[in-house]
């Protein structure tokens, strides 16, 4: 049986020129984390330290350890790297074993009978990128850094939410594999289900050390077994699982997973095993034309669904630090917010098995981008061969996961070619189209025909239309954040909104940790350094001024109001687009998470703290949602019912004054069928007539509010409320209208967390806010951490 020896201990890091001595190295890891552990560089996440460590990415680095020969009872020993970041030469006692130039691939070297000093020399990613650029010529990109010239995590070169920390190192596990006769080289599992019968077809490739040895493979899943012979180096084994239980996205059913095991046999001697968990389900992508344009609707097990999504970026700019537990925690947060789809964005990586395992278990659908983002990518060698090799490896690696439902060719590159001034400058040079419309769909069709592929996001499906046409395919909505008010989300109904979002600063405690010794202000040095978006603060200020009087010199109010504005902006889009199901079939909010402490579009900040947007997503992505929208000169209430049961009952409508007076009231019948939207017209006498009035719509515990004017025009009363301690939290009782009350629990204690975000209370209503991690509960300190909208002075 194949034996595995992890190579995690005894590594050292040095400069290739021999200067500076050596220091202990962690494997998996990277140069930055090793230098930090040795106290040689400061934490680049703090203050403006990022600039002080920029030199690290421009140096060459060497990792070394001692490699001992494997046990003599095995015929072959392989040295296997699951990930090398990025351009490296691997040597054993000075003898070259091979060279690498792709962070997204694994590598295997024959070291049978060898021992000695194992050396991995990493060249600067900048040097490699500049050399490739010199060979293939200049290509445009959204950022000045040369990330499109090598196969590396693009966002390590910085983004509009991320630091420029260009890494190098052995970023995934490394090991020795000892084996005899043959080993399993690759397994390509095709998992389908038809008429309740699960079908598994395993295409198996083996590597032999003895050509003449007869080999068989045996597979087992769900109590069923089957065998097949290996013909040369390949074989196929097929299994049928009667009455297979279907895997469903969260909210639609359960997520049963089956243990699948494949054993390679020589006679009855087991030589190698391969194990995965699989799930039986079907997935389709409906892109057919209709009266509204061209759709983009996912269907799982025949059930068409509105995708309640978030975009995922690498959870740390040093991805080797993201543990299985951290993946699980972040994805549980996503599931807790009602999310059912996670898009792995194209400027990052193919994530580890831990990520996809958690999605399988939690019922989170995965939309997987191939790693191309916001640039023209050359199609010449050495890149073209690397792209195909990485795609083939990762498509097969991720195929077992039922959560994976869509392959996407790139992020914004088709759009960029048409709209960002690339086309004239390229003058016929390659820019990536051959990947997105040629190489990648061919690899997916050949390797993984069970899943749909789309050429890019956004993409209208044809060059006959604009790539970002909202009426066709996927759409990215960024004009609103960049140039207008979030109310403009309501001006159209895209078929599928794959990106949109609004910025806000991170939690207060996150800022205090990230900016030691600095009193934060919107334009303080540290705050500006941790704002990477072009004119980011300007857009925050202009977006705020459309709704509120911008507080001058009051950071706490500015911090609160920008977080309110973020939650309201995303709510404006999601409510509107969900209410137009099935024309619009999904929203994917930019973004779920951050890779460091920064002002960004994230719902969960770089320290893992949940912004008010996170809690708002719980409301927006709940199975049942009420929203009020304009319809001509009047208003309608849309009842969005994504649950499997009908939603019936009374709809209580109240036209109210901000002083708490009920001006008019009605109780029409609500009747929304399962997986549908029901629209009820608001009687004319209930439509608010001015900024001092608003509409309340209640259906059981689900509420929608409609204020017809910006907050700066509304004559709010001075908020008045009582605060009392409750078991594991506080209770707030309103004496007046209290709009968007927020407990910033991290102001009570950096470890404290509240179980809810913004809540609006009518006079006489109360809310209990759960708080965990609060060491010394006190209603007076709680009041100091409570914020709400106040009347304009």
Residues designated as active site: 412
CA–CA dist 228, 158 (Å, integer): 50
Residues forming a β-bridge with 259: 277
Who's near 345: CB < 8 A, 6+ residues apart?
311, 312, 313, 369, 373, 411, 591
Q: Which of 500, 459, 460, 458 is nearest to 479 (CA)?
A: 500
Token output for 157: 């070169």
Q: 548 near 712, Cβ under 8 Å?
A: yes
**Run of H or E residues at 434:** helix 433-434
- Exposure string of 379-406, with b = 16+ CB inside 10 Å and e = fewer, is beebbbebbeebbbbbbbbbbbbbbbbb
Q: 273 near 263, Cβ under 8 Å?
A: yes
Distances (CA, A) of 307 to 303, 471, 622, 787: 12, 17, 12, 33
**Run of H or E residues at 447:** helix 440-447
**Owner of token pair 């794959």:** 498
SS3 41: coil
CA–CA dist 169, 25 (Å, integer): 10
CA–CA dist 769, 591 (Å, integer): 26
CA–CA dist 26, 13 (Å, integer): 9
Burial class (CB in 10 A: 0-12, 13-18, 19+), 727: exposed
**Run of H or E residues at 187:** strand 182-194
Query: Could you count the other beta carbons within 10 Å of the beta carbon of residue 772?
Result: 12
Burial class (CB in 10 A: 0-12, 13-18, 19+), 446: exposed
Token output for 244: 């297979």
Who's near 256: CB < 8 A, 6+ residues apart?
245, 246, 247, 279, 280
Who's near 406: CB < 8 A, 6+ residues apart?
283, 285, 298, 365, 366, 367, 368, 451, 452, 453, 454
Q: 471 near 497, Cβ under 8 Å?
A: no
| DSSP state letters, 660-711 | S-EEEEE-PEEEE-TTEEEEEEPPGGGS--STTEEEEEEETTEEEEE-SS-G
Q: 498 near 476, Cβ under 8 Å?
A: yes
Token output for 370: 């191939």
Q: 749 near 693, Cβ under 8 Å?
A: no
- Exposure string of 201-215, with b = 16+ CB inside 10 Å and e = fewer, is ebebebebeeeeeeb
CA–CA dist 547, 563 (Å, integer): 13
**Run of H or E residues at 555:** helix 555-578
The conformation of residue 279, written as its DSSP 8-state character, comes to -
Who's near 484: CB < 8 A, 6+ residues apart?
none
Distance of CA 461 to the CA centre of its chain: 23
Query: Could you count the other beta carbons within 10 Å of the beta carbon of residue 71?
Result: 10
């Amino acid at each position: 049986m194949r034996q595995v020896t992890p190579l995690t201990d005894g590594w050292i890091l040095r400069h290739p020129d021999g200067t500076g001595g050596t220091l202990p190295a962690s494997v998996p890891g990277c140069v930055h984390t090793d230098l930090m552990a040795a106290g040689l560089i400061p934490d680049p996440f703090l203050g403006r330290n990022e600039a002080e460590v920029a030199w690290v990415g421009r140096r060459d680095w060497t990792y070394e350890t001692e490699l001992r020969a494997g046990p003599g009872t095995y015929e072959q020993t392989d040295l296997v790297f699951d990930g090398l970041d990025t351009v490296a030469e691997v040597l054993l006692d000075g003898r070259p074993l091979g060279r690498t130039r792709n962070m997204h691939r694994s590598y295997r070297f024959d070291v049978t009978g060898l021992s000695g000093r194992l050396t991995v020399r990493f060249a600067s990613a900048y040097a490699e990128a500049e050399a490739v650029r010199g060979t293939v010529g200049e290509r445009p990109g959204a950022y000045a850094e040369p990330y499109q010239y090598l196969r590396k995590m693009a966002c390590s070169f910085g983004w509009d939410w991320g630091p420029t920390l260009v890494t190098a190192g052995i970023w995934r596990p490394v090991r020795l594999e000892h084996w005899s006769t043959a080993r399993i080289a690759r397994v390509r599992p095709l998992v389908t289900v038809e008429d309740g019968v699960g079908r598994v077809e395993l295409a198996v490739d083996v590597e032999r050390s003895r050509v003449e040895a007869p080999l068989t493979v045996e597979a087992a899943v769900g109590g069923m077994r089957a065998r097949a012979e290996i013909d040369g180096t390949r074989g196929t084994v097929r299994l049928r699982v009667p009455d297979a239980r279907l895997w469903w996205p969260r909210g639609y059913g359960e997520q049963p997973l089956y243990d699948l095991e494949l054993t390679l046999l020589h006679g009855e001697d087991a030589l190698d095993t391969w194990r995965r968990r699989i799930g039986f389900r079907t997935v389709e992508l409906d892109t057919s034309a209709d009266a509204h344009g061209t759709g983009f609707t996912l269907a799982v097990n025949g059930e068409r669904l509105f995708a309640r999504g978030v975009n995922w970026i690498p959870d740390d700019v040093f991805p080797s630090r993201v543990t299985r537990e951290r993946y699980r925690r972040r994805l549980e947060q996503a599931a807790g917010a009602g999310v059912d789809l996670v898009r792995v964005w194209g400027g990052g990586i193919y994530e580890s098995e831990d990520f996809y395992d958690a999605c399988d278990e939690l019922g989170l659908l995965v939309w997987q981008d191939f790693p191309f983002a916001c640039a023209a990518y050359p199609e010449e060698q050495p890149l073209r061969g690397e792209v195909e090799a990485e795609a083939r490896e990762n498509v097969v690696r991720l195929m077992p996961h039922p959560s994976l439902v869509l392959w996407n060719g790139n992020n914004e590159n088709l759009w960029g070619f048409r709209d960002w001034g690339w086309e004239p400058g390229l003058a016929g040079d390659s820019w990536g189209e051959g990947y997105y419309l040629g190489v990648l769909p061919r690899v997916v069709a050949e390797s993984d025909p069970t899943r749909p592929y789309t050429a890019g996001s956004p993409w209208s499906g044809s060059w006959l239309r604009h790539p970002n046409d909202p009426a066709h395919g996927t759409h990215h909505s960024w004009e609103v954040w960049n140039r207008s008010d979030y109310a403009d989300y309501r001006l159209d109904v895209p078929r599928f909104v794959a990106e949109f979002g609004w910025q806000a600063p991170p939690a207060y405690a996150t800022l205090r940790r990230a900016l030691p010794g600095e009193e934060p202000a919107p334009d303080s040095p540290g705050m500006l350094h941790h704002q990477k978006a072009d004119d980011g603060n300007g857009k925050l200020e202009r977006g705020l001024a459309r709704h509120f009087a911008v507080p001058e010199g009051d950071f706490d109010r500015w911090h609160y109001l920008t977080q309110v504005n973020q939650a309201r902006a995303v709510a404006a889009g999601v409510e509107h687009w969900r209410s137009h199901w099935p024309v619009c079939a999904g929203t994917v909010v930019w973004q779920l998470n951050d890779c460091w402490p920064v002002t960004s579009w994230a719902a969960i900040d770089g320290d893992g703290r949940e912004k008010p947007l996170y809690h708002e997503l719980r409301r927006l992505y709940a199975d049942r949602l009420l929203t009020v929208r304009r319809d001509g000169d009047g208003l309608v209430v849309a009842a969005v019912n994504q649950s499997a049961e009908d939603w019936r009952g009374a709809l209580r409508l109240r036209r109210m004054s901000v002083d708490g007076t009920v001006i008019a009231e009605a109780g029409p019948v609500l009747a929304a069928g399962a997986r549908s939207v029901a629209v009820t017209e608001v009687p004319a006498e209930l439509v608010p007539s001015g900024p001092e009035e608003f509409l309340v719509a209640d259906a059981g515990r689900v509420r929608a509010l409609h204020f017809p004017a910006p907050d700066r025009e509304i004559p709010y009363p001075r908020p008045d409320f009582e605060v009392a301690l409750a078991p594991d939290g506080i209770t707030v009782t309103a004496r007046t209208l209290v709009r968007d009350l927020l407990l910033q629990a991290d102001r009570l204690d950096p470890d404290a967390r509240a179980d809810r975000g913004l809540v609006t209370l009518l006079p006489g209503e109360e809310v209990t806010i759960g708080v965990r991690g609060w060491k010394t509960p006190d209603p007076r300190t709680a009041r100091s951490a409570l914020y709400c909208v106040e009347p304009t002075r």
